[in-house]
Each structure stands twice: as C-alpha cells, then as structure tokens.
A and B are shown apart, each in its own frame.
Chain A
C-alpha cells in the first residue's frame, strides 16, 4: 500500500539528547514536510523539502535539522538546542505537480523528553 510511514509512534528521550524521527514515503512525491503540533497551536511548519538535496526552513526551524538524501526519506533530528521538544510530530508529502500542495500525512510520532 502506498503511504507515509513515521516511526516510532512513541519516543522517549532524556533532556540534552539528540533524537531522530523517521519519515518514509512510497508515493513518489517530490515534496516532504515536517510539522509540530501542540494543543491549541495547530500545525506549525518546521522544515520542508521540494526536491532531493534541498530543503527550506519553516516557521519554527530553530533546534531542528533535516536531510533529504533520498526522495523517499526525510528524517528530522530534534537537537538539544530545542528548548521544548515534547510534542506530536507529523510528516507529510505532496506531489508538487502544477503547484499541487495537497499533503498526505503519516500517523505521527509523539516525542516526550524527560
């Protein structure tokens, strides 16, 4: 089945540790996105990538890093510089044809930093 896979579903880390969230898609989409969701805040864009080996900062990129070495993969690293990393993280992809930004979402990863 085509789709977006985020792993793991739940992740616990100690404060000060970097952690990497996985996102893989087999939809052959060019564009991929990472969002952070907090209660009452909606979805806030962290990073997005329109094409392999290229990505742009979103609205809240500080304390995060990404890579896009393969079309199907867009991992997100939450670094120790992120002041409040506990949140629900959503990965998405879109076809990027004719400006089509219709996004398809994974099931999310809930990160808890203790």
Chain B
C-alpha cells in the first residue's frame, strides 16, 4: 500500500531563515510526488511536482524539492522564509493507479 510520512507535525522558523520540510513515501513503482500548501479553511494549492527527469524541482513562491529514490524522500526547501509562508504543507504520492495519498501535514509558523 502506498503511504506518506511527514515526521514533523509543527515547525517554527524565523522570518528570513531557511526551511526544510521532510517527506518520506512508500510506493511500489515509480512515484509521482507533490507538495501542496493549505491556508486555514481553504483548499489546497500545488507548490511543485515530480514526475521524472531532474530530481531537483522548482515550484512556485520560491520553493524547491529534491527527489532521492535511495532514501524514498522528497523534502521541500526554501532558502528564506517570508511571513506569508505560514500555512500547512502536505506531501502526496500518486502514480499509475491514480490513487493520490497524502501525509498528515506539517504546520509552519513564522516568527517575525
């Protein structure tokens, strides 16, 4: 069965600091990997996705993520966090079965 683990429930960073959110997945074939962001009471917005090719992918709002097959990881990074990045972040895995599975999310708090 496919699954996603986000080990950090809540992360707090200072504005301007770098950020890394962790994601580990389990999937029996080539995965499609996604990071989404959610503001309170809203739907989810796609930040970036990995299907194939270059393992370092760039997304919106200055985010990037690196796919590491050997570690089954797809960590999200940002060099300098802005106060507007405070939100909940979800990692997801999908594939040829069209079933999309999400992690439990990481809540990001940004201190001024």
Identify the stretch in B53-61, B62-70, B78-86, B95-103 within 8 Å (CB) of chain A at 4 or more residues: B95-103
Identify the stretch in A64-72, A79-87, A97-105 within 8 Å (CB) of chain B at 4 or more residues: A97-105
- B94 CB to nearest A CB, Å: 3
* Inter-chain contact A48/B98, CB cutoff 8 Å: yes
* Inter-chain contact B95/A99, CB cutoff 8 Å: yes
Rounded to whole angstroms, the CA-CA distance of A100 and B102 in the bound complex is 16
* Inter-chain contact A101/B94, CB cutoff 8 Å: yes
* Inter-chain contact B51/A42, CB cutoff 8 Å: no
- Residue A25, interface by CB 8 Å: no
B residues engaging A (CB < 8 A)? 6, 9, 32, 34, 36, 41-46, 49, 51, 90, 92, 94-96, 98-105
- A47 CB to nearest B CB, Å: 11
* Inter-chain contact A40/B9, CB cutoff 8 Å: yes
* Inter-chain contact B99/A58, CB cutoff 8 Å: yes
Give chain A residues whose Cβ lies under 8 Å from the Cβ of B51.
Answer: 100
* Inter-chain contact B43/A107, CB cutoff 8 Å: yes
Rounded to whole angstroms, the CA-CA distance of A108 and B45 in the bound complex is 12
